[in-house]
Amino acid sequence: MKIACIQVDVHFGNPDKNYENIENKIRDAVSKQNVDTIILPELWDTAYDLSRLNEISDSNGERAKSLLSKLSKEFAVNIIGGSIACREGNGIYNTSLSFNRKGEHIGTYSKAHLITLMEEEKYISSGKNSSMFKIDGILSTAAICYDIRFPEWIRAPFLKGAKILFVPAQWPIQRQTHWRALLMARAIENQCYVIACNRVGQDPNNTFAGQSMIVDPWGDIIAQGSSGDEEILFADISPELVEEVRAKVPVFNDRRTDLY
Ligand SMILES: O=C(O)CCC(=O)C(=O)O
**Using one digit for the tens of pLDDT, what is the confidence trace for 182-194?**
999 999 999 999 9
Q: Is 174 buried (19+), middle (13-18) or exposed (0-12) by CB count in 10 A? A: exposed
Question: What's the chain's average pLDDT?
Answer: 97
Residues constituting the chain: 260
Domain assignment present for residue 108? The answer is yes
pTM of the model: 0.97
Q: 214 falls in which pLDDT band (50, 70, 90)? A: very high
The pLDDT of residue 12 is 98
Identify whether 42 is a catalytic site residue: yes
DSSP designation for 188: H
Q: Based on C-alpha coordinates, what's the Rg of the chain? A: 17
The pLDDT of residue 149 is 98
The pLDDT of residue 25 is 98
Catalytic residue among 5, 25, 65, 111: 111
The pLDDT of residue 4 is 98
**Using one digit for the tens of pLDDT, what is the confidence trace for 58-108?**
999 999 999 999 999 999 999 999 999 999 999 999 999 999 999 999 999
Instruction: Name residues whose C-beta falls within 8 Å of residue 108's C-beta, 6 or more positions apart in sequence.
Output: 95, 96, 97, 98, 131
Dihedral over Cα of 99, 136, 76, 2: its sign: positive
The pLDDT of residue 44 is 98
Distance from residue 209's CA to the centre of ligand 1 (Å) = 11
Domain assignment present for residue 254? The answer is no
Domain assignment present for residue 199? The answer is yes
The pLDDT of residue 11 is 98
In percent, how much of the chain has pLDDT > 70? 100
The pLDDT of residue 200 is 98
Domain assignment present for residue 244? The answer is yes
For 229-234, what is the mean pLDDT? 97
Domains identified in the chain, total number: 1
Q: Which of 44, 145, 211 for mutating ligand 1's site (highest number of atoms within 8 Å of CB)?
A: 145
For 223-239, what is the mean pLDDT? 96
Helix (DSSP H) and strand (DSSP E) numbers for the chain: 6, 14
**Which residues approach ligand 1 with their CB closer than 6 A?**
115, 118, 145-146, 149, 170-172, 175, 178
Question: Does ipTM surpass 0.90 in this model?
Answer: yes
Domain assignment present for residue 260? The answer is no
The pLDDT of residue 182 is 98
Domain assignment present for residue 259? The answer is no
**Using one digit for the tens of pLDDT, what is the confidence trace for 6-31?**
999 999 999 999 999 999 999 999 99
Identify whether 111 is a catalytic site residue: yes
The answer to whether the beta carbons of residues 49 and 23 sit under 8 Å apart is no
The pLDDT of residue 209 is 97
The Cα-based distances of 75 to 25, 37, 175, 199, 226 in angstroms read 13, 10, 36, 23, 27
Domain assignment present for residue 258? The answer is no
Domain assignment present for residue 107? The answer is yes
Ligand 1 atom with the smallest distance to the CA of 175 is: 3
The pLDDT of residue 145 is 98
Q: Residue 211, CB half-sphere, CA atoms under 13 Å: how many?
A: 19
The pLDDT of residue 85 is 98
Q: CATH code at 196?
A: 3.60.110.10
The answer to whether the beta carbons of residues 44 and 10 sit under 8 Å apart is yes
Q: Which domain holds residue 7?
A: 2-248
